[in-house]
Amino acid sequence: MATPVVGVPLAVVLLALTAVAALLVRAGGIGAAREVAVAAGRAAGQLAAVSLLIAAVLRSAGATAAFVALMLVIAAVTAAGRIAGRRSARAAGWSGLAIAAGVGPVLALVVLSGVVPARPVAVLPIAGILIGGAMTATALTGRRTLDELRTRHGEYEAALALGLVPRDAALEVCRPVAALALVPALDQTRTVGLVTLPGAFVGVLLGGASPVEAGATQLLVLVGLLAAEAVCVLATLELVATGRLHEAE
């Protein structure tokens, strides 16, 4: 995979793709066209800023750690917005805890074991991939379990009437749907190399590594994501069941 040529044609193609996506979303009634445009615009601005900052960040372990912490905070706020329906410091705190519970042990294991060199240029990409996957798993789990509690509230009440405590009653209703949050990671892992060649694999190849080294890197990323997201799903499920994560009033 060659890198795209940066210039006017790239800008035109990106604008055209954004416009098509926004129009399709609006015409199909599956969302707001504005969200598509805003997401694309934010992606362009954020990647431009990161491209300028990344060289400075990678010069220092402290700066890299601060950047990872910033990514975690943004992931927590984003997941909380999806779960609670609005920005909430409380929801962001609990969402951040769930994300950190998944990412922290996995990142510590791969670095402390020496599998990933303890250098900023190696740690930062792995941390970013893990945090991104954990954010998605947390948001999906929180949103789906809260929706399930709302639509199956009668079953929740029936479980309470049978003598279950609120946490156990909520788990009875929410646990099956929470498993759906792992489907994207499971499908990506099952089909890697057959349907897609993910970014880590292609990136390592472009960096000059052998196909075997690229494959090992991608496998580490995929299995690490599975482990991190499994923890996030369980942590978020527990937070919803105990009433710590809930929709905005």
- Tens of pLDDT, residue by residue over 193-232, are 776 666 666 666 556 667 777 778 888 888 999 999 999 9
pLDDT of res. 206: 56
The C-alpha atoms of residue 172 and residue 175 are separated, in whole angstroms, by 6
Nearest 5°: phi and psi at 242?
-95, 5
Nearest 5°: phi and psi at 73?
-65, -45
For residue 1, pLDDT beyond 50: no
Burial class (CB in 10 A: 0-12, 13-18, 19+), 125: middle
Give the CA-trace dihedral at 175, 176, 182, 184, to 10 degrees.
-150
Q: What global pTM score does this model have?
A: 0.81
Tell me the mean pLDDT in the region 118-136.
Answer: 90
Contact 181, 231 (CB under 8 A): no
For residue 52, pLDDT beyond 80: no
List for the chain the helix, strand, coil content (%; round to 5). 80, 0, 20
Write down the domain spans for the chain.
1-57, 60-241
